[in-house]
Amino acid sequence: MEQDTQILHGLKADYAERCRQEKQLYERYFYFVDEGCKKYSLNYDDSFSAYSDALLSAIHNIINDRFDGRSSLKTYLYQIFSNKCIDLVRKNATNKQQVHKTMPVADTLNQLPDNVKNVVEKLVTSELKANIKKQLENIGQKCKEVLVMFEDGLTDKEIAELLAYSNAAVVKTTRLRCLEKLREKITVTG
């Protein structure tokens, strides 16, 4: 439990410390990958993918105060990992003829009520995602970096400090401009 506390504090500390604790966490429960292979009959790559995905979700929940601490870190992480494994087993079972390489549906889409989600889900195509992935490489390294950092749960203020922007408002404007730049490229090529 003492190590749990240390990791939890570290994850909420500055970015460098957070990265150190992420590595600790990654190594500490890496044996889950074997569990995924044995218990859910996943191949190593799928189990590894479920583990790293679960770890990132857990980290984001912790830094956003969505982990209430009622269970141990191990139990919490295992629960998320287990759910990711079940998702993969289901997808493998329904897409036996396909090579499954996509991530589980992100939380973002699930924030919408069902009727709206159905409308938007139809528009979130693999072609659109492939195009975005391609164009992300064409909007400049800085833009990509700012967007990825924000996705990593860093606030605009934290990004401003790390990347030496004058303040959080500048980061927010930059971020939205980068998104707009990406959207324009998608419109042109799409």
- Residues binding other proteins (CB under 8 A): 16, 19, 22-23, 26-27, 30, 52-53, 55-56, 103, 106, 108-109, 111-113, 115-116, 119-120, 123-124, 128-129, 132-133, 136, 141, 144-145, 147-148, 151-152, 162-164, 176-177, 179-180, 182-183, 186
> For tokens 């991530």, what's the residue?
103
**Smaller CB separation from other proteins, 1 or 95:** 95
At 125, give phi and psi (nearest 5°): -95, 160
Question: Which of 75/111 has CB closer to other proteins?
Answer: 111
In b/e form, how buried is each residue of 18-35, taking b as 16+ CB within 10 angstroms? beebbeebeeebeebbeb
CB of 33 to other proteins, least distance (A): 11
Residue 143 CB, nearest approach to other proteins (Å)? 11
- In terms of CB distance, is 1 or 123 closer to other proteins? 123
Which residue, 1 or 46, has its beta carbon nearer to other proteins? 46
| Residue 50, C-beta contacts closer than 8 angstroms, at least 6 positions apart | 36, 42, 81, 84, 85, 87, 88
61: its two tokens: 């929940």
Q: How far is the CB of 51 from other proteins (least distance, A)?
A: 9
CA distance 31 to 81: 12
Dihedral of the alpha carbons of 83, 85, 91, 94, in degrees to the nearest 10: -100
Min. distance of Cβ 185 from other proteins in angstroms? 11
